Each structure stands twice: as C-alpha cells, then as structure tokens.
Structure 1
C-alpha cells in the first residue's frame, strides 16, 4: 500500500476535534504521515462544522484557501468531512469542484479508504449511518499534553426547534463505561492533568445503554484516576438533579465550573424552542447550584431573535442576565437553519433587530464579567500554566473559571521558570478585557 502525507484541519467544536483526532490515528496506524501543515501534503482533510451560518462561512473560506494551495501546486487533493459535507453533500460536489471527495458524519472511520480512493483519482463520497457510528478507538490527541477531551456520547435527542445537530449527528448514543474508563486511563498515563468531559448533552449519559442516567457514576470513576481537574461541558438544566449535584459537590477534582446551555428565559420562547423546563425552574436550579457549590462559575449560551421574541421577551432576558450574574455567556443571533421547525415559524424577527439585541446583550454580559473579575482582586487562584506569552511578556494560564478557547486567560509574572502544564498559585492584581493579571506566589 502506498503511504501519503496527510494534513488535518479541524473546525468547530471540541466534539468535532475528537473526530479529527480519531481520523488522524487511523491514518497514522495505516502508515501515513500526519501533519497540521497543508503545504506539501498529498491530501488535506478538512473536518467542518455546519451548525449555523457563521460556521458554514468559515468552512467555505477554508475550502477556498486549501483550493488555492492546490492551484499553487503545493497541495495534492482535498477531502471534506464533517457536518458541512453531511448537510450539503450535493451542493459541495456540484458547486465546489475544488473538493476531491467528501465524507459524512457517519463515515469518519472510512478516512483511510477515502484517502486511497482520492489518490487513485476517484471521487469518494462516503456516507454511513449517522445513528450507528464507531466512537471508540485510538486518537492522536492534538491538544497540549496537559489537557484532553473525553467525548462520552455522540448525537442528540433533545430536538430543539432551532437546532440542526440531530439531523447531522443522529440519535443520542452513549459510549460504554468500560471504553470511556480505558481511554481515560490512557490519557492519564500520558500525563493529562485536565480532563474535559464533553458531549452534546452529558447529563443524558447512559440512558440509552443502561436505562438510567449514569453521569454521576462515571464521574466518580474518573475522579479515581490521577487527573488534577475534571471539567464538565453541556449539562442540560432539566436533567441536572440532586444526585448529580451531590457528586459534583463531593468530588474535589470536579471543577466548580458548569456549562448549562439555557438559550433563553422567557417561558413562551422556551416553549417555542422546544426546551424542557420553565423560567421558574431555571432560576430555582441556579439558586440551588450557587448554594450547594460555593465559588461556582456558570457558563451558558443564549440566543437572540428567535421568532416571536419581542421587546418584552428580550428585556426579560436582559433582566435575567443582570440578576443571575452568570459569569460566562456566549451570545448568538438566531440563524434560521433550513430543515428546522424554527426556520419556518411565524413572526420572524428582523435580522437587524436581532443583531442589535446581540450587541446589547454582549455589552450587558461584559459588565457582568467585569464585575466578576473585579471581585477577584487580591485573591489567590490555582492556575494551570500554558506557557510563556511573548506578546504579553509574561506567563499565561487558566484558572478553574476558564475553559480553553472559550474563556479568558490569567497572565502572571514569576521570578523563575514555570513549565507548561504546571499548576501554580497566582495572586490577582488586575484585570483587562476579560483577562486577569497577577503574580505567582513563591513558596
């Protein structure tokens, strides 16, 4: 079998990155050379996101950039995988001749035969069953050695009215406890110190396999392994029960950082979104979490401009954000995705009005975050060092309150050398643009 130099580019979320790492491992194990640099590669594999308009635009831009490398003769072939190809199979083949082959989200494990086919001059189009994929197997972890993701499930059964993900990723499918713990042990053996547990909805873990929610049991087992931090992403509010809160409260390794996608707070909009739960239930849950988990940092995502959102509904969302004091929030403009119920709802909000609401909410949230950072002054925080930042002229890292790529940094000075992956105590002395400044507390 011929071997090739294969470049990988991963777009979108961390869940997509795990799929990229799985494809990289398959190529490595088949004897191919894996690289992150498309220049000089025989094949570039672009793993795309196709969730909302901005993600689609980013994917198209990357396709065109890689196509230019082909035109310059420094890249051989281009394969496109992931959500964009799953969603727009025919359009990609018809409108983008630069693309030499495509794989859907049900065919990540077909990457090696796809590479062989495209290098033989064929145009592979592999689209396996999105409800029945292989989620176990080796990964070439591409994150820094001290941090890694553990994807515990694929797909989603929530069927929110605005969301295309179930149509691209299939039904919710938990991985077995045995496979997850085996992978986690390998990560721990490699020196991973921060394990980030991810899925589209981690709170539903186990329902399909074990007929009950098993996230608490999984977390207790993960905390027996030599990780220093265990971080949780995407816990849905209606599934976050007292038993799970008890586990989070009792396990010191689980960070007091919870990512709960709320999307809105108005009862009418929540119903239109096909979200389970009400404003009263959300407020009660957040109050319970604050009481049970001192020092808790909350992250959420919010959508402005869903059909039917008037000024009163938007102002209710603003009032909630002011009163709840949610420390981290991603604010998104409603994107009417074809194939979703929300795209054809009545009372669509004017795009300019929705964009202005996003701006107002982002400004409001920045003040909430500034107030949170101001309260950190004089505190000493445990910080995971990520290395020396030459632009800032000091070290950079993250506290428990900062998830990689979505939150801020802690910049700090030190008298000696601090290695990436080392935990240090940093006294906070300042804040700027959402980041914290400080100095290491020497022993």
Structure 2
C-alpha cells in the first residue's frame, strides 16, 4: 500500500546524506514523499546525538511531531539516527508518542519500517554498526547547485571526548568505484559544488590496505564538471605532502579546509587521545598556507577539556592569535556518558563556558581583521538567492561553506539566477558578513 511519508533531518551533513538515502528507499518502495509533516501517514525524525544541544533539538522535534499526532495531522512517528542508536531504551520509555526506532545500522530498512508501523507494529531494529555500507540512491535535499558526497562511514580515531565510534562503528571507506559513480551522477545532474564529507576524509582507503587514497579520489573527482570541490573534516596528522600537492595543483579544489584540531596544548591533546601535538600544528599551517594561496581554515576548539588549566587555556588563546584561523567554532566541554573523558577531572561547566566566551572574543577580532583584508578584492560568488530585507543578492565565495560560514551580500544591476557564478568586488561588511557589488 502507498503511504505519505515525510522526513526531518537533524545534525551534520553526513546525517543529511543518510536521510536522503532513506527518502530514496521510501520512494522506490512506492510511497509518496511529503514536503512537510502535515498530512503524513509516517514522519521520520532522523536525529543527531553528538552533544547535549543536538539531543535537545532532537527531543524537541519528536515532541512537536507528537503534538501533530494528537491533532490527527500525523499518524505514526519513526525515530532514526545517532540519538536513536545511543538512547534506544530511553526513547521508547520517555517518548510514548514514538512508534518505532531504527539504529544507524538500519537505514536500509526504512521502507519496511514504514509498512510495519502502519500495520500496528512497533519496529525496534538495531543491526551491526560495523557492517559494510549499503549502496543506494539518494533524493537530494540541498539546492540543485551543491551536494554532499559521503565517502566513508564510522571512525577509528577514538578521541576521548567523542561518542561517534560507538554510534557509527569502525571506519569503512566506500569503494572508490561507487564513490566515483555517484559523483559522476551528481555532476551530470548539474551539481556545481561537490562537498566531500566523512567523519575523517583523510583516512579514506586506509581500511583497505593501510594506505591513504584521498588524493587518488580527488584526482578522479577533478575530471568531472564540478566547478568547486570542497573538503570537510580532514584530521591534521593525516595530511600528507602528496595530498597537499594535489590540493595545490587542482584548481577545482577550493583553498578551504575543515580541519578540526580541538586544542593545542600537548597535555590536553594527549589526554584526549588526539594524534599530533602543538609543534606539529605550528609546522603544518604555514605549509598549507604556502601551498594554498588565500587558504581559509575552519576548525573547532573545545574549552574546559580535562587537563586544561588556566595556563593551557591562555596557551590556546595565544595559539589562535598566532595561527590566525578564519573560521572557528568554539564549544565548552560537555562530558558525554560512556566516553573516557567523562570520568576525567575537569573544570566546572560554567568555567568552560566562560573560557569559550573569551575565546570567541579573540576569534571575533581575527574575523574582523580577515573581513577588513578582503575589502577591494574581486571574488567569485555562487549566487544563492535574493534577500528582500537587504534588497541584495546573496551567495558564497570559496571562503564560505553552506549553512556554517555566513554569506556574501551583493548588489547587481540585472537579475542573477540562483546557482550562477558571478564576480563581486568586496566593498564593505554587514553584521560580520562581506558585502559588495557585482562587476
């Protein structure tokens, strides 16, 4: 029987790809995909469970769907994703409005789960999170001009503060032939910006033969009609001279790297089971900047980690000023149950928040200086729409990744279609974002 099914995807881009795959499985089973939950037979909430704020967002969405269920707008609720994997017992006990729950090893079972709940069943399915990845189609939910290309699942890094390995399993690289075929399909469909994602893309292929194959994959992607190729989640200790050389030689690969470092203090890094040290980072960033002119680095930093005293925190502030990273997300340490860091001695959460606020102030000044340095430049902008409030078009340059880095607003004399590349001269800033005029 055909049912109306809607999806809500929360969390990271990797989770979004999983949701797109579930949508395709549901469509191919003959069900109708609904743009909103209203009128759905089944609504699927694909959750994130990485940090406390993500869990709170997931619970809020489930409760909201529960209200719609009471009103008769929704008949059944399925919960999938990382929070489902992590808190399966708690969800079924504390959220009675949930009709079924699927772990991260059961995305391929979504169509069967829809049938099950519509026949009064209550699927609670949790297969192995270490199994090879299923290969199946996607329904793209991003705008037509960009898409995420997930090249691996799971993680073998086992950072002391992180629950991802217990939610997503061991690192499994997708076969290169499959990745290339999917990328070619994206390219043929008109995708102009391919964003390569995994929990750690620098380890791609190491589970096959112990060798890194990201550089090999990038060479294949650069043969396609993508205009931009953007790289997310590279671990610093796995960036090889060969990879730097490929990134420098291939014009399609943007000089934008999402490179999570979390901290710089050696004691903290060791306690957190992070490979590399401060000296390595101080050596790496100049090499990257020399090889990739105009390089923009996004990273994440955590304040209040176990081992971070006042001196280590001041070291982190000085490090940030020295390496001058343009895009930094700062998070106070929130201990996650089941991780080694949960049991380690640390500062109070309020102190971690205070330190995070101070580090944000440091980063704000760095961002102001970066924006000031961009004034007068001409940058290629991927137009993404028109803002009726500012009466300006908006888009992104190589320096802005979608949803996390803001926009570039610009004036244009004629109409500019979304998905079009234009040249914009940067003339000013507005609320921390760049503005300019199309040239």
Q: Same fold (TM over 0.5)?
A: yes
Q: Would you identify which runs of 4 or more consecutive aligned residues in structure 1 move more than 3 Å? A: none
Pairing 1:116-131 to 2, within 5 Å after superposition? 116-131=115-130
Structure 1 residue 133: Cα displacement? 4.4
CA contact (8 A) 2:257 2:297 kept: yes
Structure 1 residue 388: Cα displacement? 1.1
Q: Find the aligned partners of 1:330 and 1:174 in 2 and give their Cα distance.
A: 27
Structure 1 residue 391: Cα displacement? 2.1
Q: Find the aligned partners of 2:175 and 2:431 in 1 and give their Cα distance.
A: 42
Q: Find the aligned partners of 1:277 and 1:372 in 2 and give their Cα distance.
A: 27
**3-state secondary structure, aligned to 1:112:** helix
User: What are the superposed Cα offsets for residues 264-307 of structure 1, whole Å, 9 maximum, x if unpaired?
Assistant: 00000000110000100011000111111111001100001112
Q: Find the aligned partners of 1:137 and 1:222 in 2 and give their Cα distance.
A: 19
User: What are the superposed Cα offsets for residues 355-400 of structure 1, whole Å, 9 maximum, x if unpaired?
Assistant: 1111111111111111100001010000000011112211010000
Q: Find the aligned partners of 2:162 and 2:148 in 1 and give their Cα distance.
A: 23
Q: Find the aligned partners of 1:194 and 1:392 in 2 and give their Cα distance.
A: 26
Residues 1:315 and 2:306 aligned together? no
Q: Find the aligned partners of 2:11 and 2:308 in 1 and give their Cα distance.
A: 27
Q: Find the aligned partners of 1:349 and 1:213 in 2 and give their Cα distance.
A: 38
Residues 1:365 and 2:363 aligned together? yes
**3-state secondary structure, aligned to 1:276:** coil
**3-state secondary structure, aligned to 1:388:** strand
Q: Find the aligned partners of 1:234 and 1:160 in 2 and give their Cα distance.
A: 14
Residues 1:8 and 2:7 aligned together? yes
Pairing 1:43-442 to 2, within 5 Å after superposition? 43-346=42-345, 348-441=346-439
Q: Find the aligned partners of 1:395 and 1:221 in 2 and give their Cα distance.
A: 33
Structure 2: give runs of 5+ residues left out of the alignment: none
Structure 1 residue 184: Cα displacement? 0.4
CA contact (8 A) 1:304 1:357 kept: yes
Number of residue pairs matched by the alignment: 439
**3-state secondary structure, aligned to 1:331:** strand
* CA RMSD between the two structures: 0.8
**3-state secondary structure, aligned to 1:430:** strand
CA contact (8 A) 2:232 2:257 kept: yes
Structure 1 residue 325: Cα displacement? 0.7
Pairing 1:19-38 to 2, within 5 Å after superposition? 19-38=18-37
User: What are the superposed Cα offsets for residues 166-216 of structure 1, whole Å, 9 maximum, x if unpaired?
Assistant: 000000000011000100010011100000000000000001124310000
Structure 1 residue 107: Cα displacement? 0.3
Structure 1 residue 126: Cα displacement? 1.1
**3-state secondary structure, aligned to 1:255:** strand
Q: Find the aligned partners of 1:310 and 1:95 in 2 and give their Cα distance.
A: 38
User: What are the superposed Cα offsets for residues 17-46 of structure 1, whole Å, 9 maximum, x if unpaired?
Assistant: 000000000011111111230011110000
**3-state secondary structure, aligned to 1:321:** helix
Q: Find the aligned partners of 2:243 and 2:48 in 1 and give their Cα distance.
A: 31
CA contact (8 A) 1:107 1:133 kept: no
Structure 1: give runs of 5+ residues left out of the alignment: none
Deviates more, 1:155-164 or 1:329-338: 329-338
Q: Find the aligned partners of 2:266 and 2:91 in 1 and give their Cα distance.
A: 39
CA contact (8 A) 1:387 1:420 kept: yes
CA contact (8 A) 1:106 1:133 kept: no
**3-state secondary structure, aligned to 1:247:** helix
Structure 1 residue 425: Cα displacement? 0.1
Q: Find the aligned partners of 1:135 and 1:282 in 2 and give their Cα distance.
A: 36
**3-state secondary structure, aligned to 1:281:** helix
Report the TM-score, using the length of structure 2 for normalisation: 0.99
Q: Find the aligned partners of 1:188 and 1:293 in 2 and give their Cα distance.
A: 25
CA contact (8 A) 2:22 2:110 kept: yes
